[in-house]
Copies of this chain bind each other. A is one copy, B any other.
Amino acid sequence: MAHILILGGDGYLGWPTAMYFSSRGYAVTAVDNYFRRRACEELDTGMLYPVPDLSERAELWYRESGYEIKVVVADLADPGNMRKLFTGGVDYDWALDRNFSGAPNTVVHYAEQPSAPYSQIDHLRADFTLVNNLRVTNNLVWAVRDYARECHIIKLGTMGEYGTPNIDIEEGWIEIEHKGRKDRFLFPRQASSLYHTTKIMDTDLLWYGVRLWDLRVTDLMQGPVYGIETGESGADERLKTLFNYDEIFGTVINRFVTQAVVGYPLTVYGAGGQTRGFLNIRDTLQCVHRSEQSPAKAGELRIFNQIMETFSVRELAELTRRIGAERGHAVEIESLENPRKEAEVHYYNPTYQGLQDLGVEPHFLTDEVMSGLFEVVERYRDNVRREVIFKGVRWG
């Protein structure tokens, strides 16, 4: 039975990923340090509903499914904690069988501070983001180097690493011809937040590890994710993944739907021409699964652009307004002075074929899907606190 280690297993993507693999018969270990929960409390951000902790969820999941997800609560920025996941000595917070599951065959690495606005709040949050994200990645690289070179690392990157270049965005690599000679390089990266910059730096680290020690790495350059429900979340209300609707941890589509439901004008930054690639949370799970089934080769840094379609912010606002209107919400759109430093109108033509070539079948943001998202948020509308949606974190 293949063993999958999920770093950041308590997060928006981590918990659904844990259930997804568990329900398919994999041995799953989920690790988290609850950073996101603490940050949400500290910053008083918006969570649509309370979410039980990892051990409670693992217990619930076991009762519903009969499958075990082992839980470790630990800070992976500490090299010793990371190494125990490969060598033993792990202290499980929840497990049926407390014996060590052994080194993993695959690691899914989500264990990072995931918010661009968080990283821009002040120098201490910038420092935390930098140290946390890079130490975890580096500790993982060295643990795999030292104990499990065959292990496949599936790392969550972000499309934000590329920024908005004036040339077509390829899947991670580009051949450059210069003064009559050629070579192949990582596609140029330049991001617009400290968070996104740490993801570029992660890629630098992984590419170094791949070249030096023939590691196997798949880097998933993901766009903003939307959605709540996944195939495994329906059995019990308390198995649903966490859902933020605030500007700091809430992704744009999830936030817009929440704003629409509670009559809070949609906040479009500047011209609203910012175009990005998006995907449904169900597709994140498919993409990770397909990557796991066809691992990168030894010495390969395989990069996929993990998006299914592109929208501008203005298009998303219009879609939210239209579906909102159908469901009886009078949705206003408000243009705000852009608190970020980014191009508001730009060329954007990313390639994203690799994952579909591996067999991923995209869910698109249809009216029906959008309506389904509204339906869940409407159910919890009384929990929404309007005053925490927008705090005005500025990039300046």
By a beta-carbon cutoff of 8 Å, the part of chain A in contact with chain B is 79, 83, 123-124, 126-127, 130-131, 134-135, 138-139, 142-143, 145-146, 165-168, 174, 176-179, 181-183, 185-186, 188-194, 197, 200-201, 204-205, 207-208, 211-213, 341, 347, 395-396
Contacts and interface: CB of A to CB of B under 8 A. Distances in A.
A379 B142 CA distance: 43
Given A181-B168, A201-B204, A212 B341 contact: yes
Contacts of A197: 204-205, 208
Contacts of A142: 123, 126-127
A208 B191 contact: yes
A213 B146 CA distance: 40
B182 A185 contact: no
Contact of A181 (B127, B179, B186, B347): B347
Contacts of A166: 181-183
A134 B213 CA distance: 23
Contacts of A188: 176, 183, 185-186, 188
5 contacts: A127-B138, A130-B138, A166-B181, A193-B208, A201-B204
Shortest 6 CB-CB distances between A and B: which pairs?
Answer: A185-B188, A123-B142, A166-B183, A201-B201, A167-B178, A197-B208
B167 A174 contact: no
A255 B395 CA distance: 47
B167 A146 contact: no
A82 to B, nearest CB: 9
A147 B230 CA distance: 47
A153 to B, nearest CB: 16
Contacts of A194: 138, 208
A204 B212 contact: no
A179 to B, nearest CB: 5
Contacts of A126: 138, 142
A204 B192 CA distance: 11
Given A130-B138, A167-B179, A186-B188, 16 more contacts: A123-B142, A127-B138, A127-B142, A134-B201, A166-B181, A167-B183, A168-B179, A183-B188, A188-B188, A190-B207, A192-B208, A194-B208, A200-B204, A201-B204, A201-B205, A212-B341
Contacts of A191: 208
Given A123-B142, A138-B127, A185 B165 contact: yes
Nearest to A137: B130
A332 to B, nearest CB: 30
Contacts of A205: 197, 201
Of listed A174, A191, A201, A211, residue having the most chain B CB within 10 A: A201
A198 to B, nearest CB: 9
Contact of A146 (B123, B183, B185): B123
Contacts of A396: 213
A127 B146 CA distance: 14
A168 B176 CA distance: 11
A174 B165 contact: no
A305 to B, nearest CB: 15
Given A126-B138, A204-B200, A208-B191, A176 B176 contact: yes
B174 A168 contact: no
Nearest to A214: B341
